Structure formats: structure tokens, C-alpha cells
């Protein structure tokens, strides 16, 4: 959520406080410095992955109903704290055939956190998601896309691939029309779209603009010949 812009904390501020190498490793989507990371598929086929961060939330069920009607399968990066709060919603995501990813336990900013803190965040989320849904995530996404030393170790420990995005919808702050225009303008074959069915660990967040944008984005991409895949299938191509 919020990609490279945080409340009172921006990517520019991060870069200013770190060495150039550490800053690049933390924010650059192509960087492998802090662990294996991908942000798109091969692009050889007209396929795309639609992903959602920060859930589950009370609004996730509406999203699931729409995706089910459209026969679109996505990847949901879930926060352990939200899964613990709404286990039945998290289970419904899995039950509808979507892929689950690890988005940390409490959605913290990782820069300047200890290796032990980072390990606890993803290990705890992995346990909760696996216990409540019956599915063990194979992919992860750090909050805000920021990486930090300690992620490589936790990726190896939990057998997780870090997956960022090709285009992010800024759907926590933009109206649906702007979200839709931005995503459709930047989408490409093999791309990974990042939207949000929650707002960090906020209870009962307003995700109405995200839901409205999804209902506009999906039909257009279908008309353009795109096939929606979960991340493991997109990356396997």
C-alpha cells in the first residue's frame, strides 16, 4: 500500500538517509540485493496478474463475488493481523481459488528494522495464513514495496519469492476513474497490477473506489485479449 510514499516518510527521505547501494536495494523493483525479487512475467503471452494487498477486509467479499462472476483468479497478499481478525474472509479467498501471499503480520515499514523483527513479521503471518486457510503462501510482498537486510534470510527460511508490481493503482488515495486510467495506460503483457482490498490493518476500511475500479478494469482488459493468471502461473510462463 502507498508504494513509495508513506505518511511522513517518503522514498526521497529514505534515499537521503541511506547509502546509495542500500537505498537502491530497498526501493528499486529490479534490485536483488536483499533477496530474489521479480516485478513482472516474461511478456511472451498476453497474460497479466491482478494482485491485491492489505486484506482481508470487510470489503473483500464483494470483490470475491465480482471476480467469481467474471471467472478471474488473482493473488491476495494478506496481512496476518487481518487474517486473524477475519479468518472466514481469508478462507473465502482461498476457497474461491485465488492464490495467497504473505504481506507481513502488522504492515510495518521495514527500513531500519532489525533482522529479528523482519523474521517475526513474515514468520508469524505465514503461520496464521496457513492455519486459517489451509494454504501456505509461496510468494511475499513487503509493505510499501520496501526491502531491507533480513528479507533474504526469511525468504530462504519460508521458501518465499518476493513479488512486487509492474503498475500500482494508488487506489488508497485516488478515485476510481483515475485508478482505472492509470492502470490501463501502463498495463503490458506479463504485467503485475497491484491494488488493495484493505488499508494496512485498518478495520472496516473504505475500499469502494478500488471495487469500482476493478469493475472497470477487468472488462477492458478482457476485451483487449488479456488472460488473468495467478502469480505462480504467470511467472512459470
In which domain, by residue range, is 210 found?
5-236
What DSSP letter does each residue of 90-153 carry, written as one string? HHHHHHTT-EEEE--SS----TT--HHHHHHHHHHHHHHHHHHHS---SEE--GGG---TTHHH
Q: Kindly state the helix (H) or strand (E) to which residue 176 belongs, with its residue range.
A: helix 176-186
Residue 179 burial (C-beta neighbours within 10 Å; 0-12, 13-18, 19+) = buried
Write out pLDDT tens, residues 79-119.
999 999 999 999 999 999 999 999 999 999 999 999 999 99
Question: Which amino acids are annotated catalytic?
Answer: 53, 196
Q: What is the CATH number of the domain that holds 217?
A: 3.20.20.370
pLDDT tens for 75-87 read 999 999 999 999 9
The count of structural domains within the chain is 1
| Rounded CA separation 158/79 (Å) | 16
pLDDT higher at 237 or 130: 130
Q: What is the pTM assigned to this prediction?
A: 0.91
Amino acid at each position: 500500500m502507498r508504494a513509495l510514499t508513506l505518511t511522513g516518510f517518503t522514498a526521497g527521505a529514505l534515499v537521503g538517509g541511506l547509502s546509495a547501494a542500500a537505498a537502491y536495494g530497498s526501493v528499486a523493483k529490479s534490485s536483488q540485493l536483499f533477496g530474489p525479487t521479480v516485478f513482472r512475467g516474461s511478456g511472451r503471452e498476453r497474460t497479466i496478474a491482478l494482485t491485491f494487498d492489505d486484506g482481508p477486509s470487510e470489503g473483500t467479499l464483494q470483490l470475491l463475488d465480482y471476480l467469481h462472476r467474471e471467472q478471474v483468479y488473482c493473488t491476495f497478499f494478506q496481512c496476518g493481523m487481518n487474517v486473524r481478525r477475519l479468518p472466514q474472509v481469508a478462507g473465502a479467498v482461498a476457497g474461491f481459488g485465488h492464490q495467497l501471499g504473505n504481506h507481513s503480520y502488522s504492515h510495518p515499514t521495514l527500513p531500519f528494522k532489525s533482522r529479528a523483527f523482519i523474521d517475526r513479521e513474515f514468520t508469524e503471518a505465514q503461520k496464521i495464513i496457513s492455519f486459517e486457510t489451509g494454504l501456505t503462501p509461496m510468494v511475499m510482498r513487503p509493505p510499501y514495496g520496501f526491502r531491507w537486510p533480513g528479507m533474504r534470510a526469511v525468504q530462504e527460511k519460508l521458501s518465499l519469492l518476493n513479488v512486487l508490481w509492474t503498475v500500482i493503482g494508488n487506489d488508497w488515495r485516488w478515485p476510481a476513474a483515475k485508478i482505472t486510467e492509470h492502470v490501463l495506460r501502463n498495463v503490458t503483457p506479463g504485467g503485475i497490477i497491484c491494488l488493495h482490498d484493505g488499508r494496512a490493518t485498518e478495520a472496516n476500511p473504505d475500499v469502494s473506489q478500488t471495487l469500482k475500479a476493478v469493475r472497470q478494469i477487468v472488462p477492458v482488459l478482457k476485451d483487449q485479449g488479456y488472460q488473468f493468471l495467478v502469480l505462480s502461473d504467470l511467472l512459470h510462463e
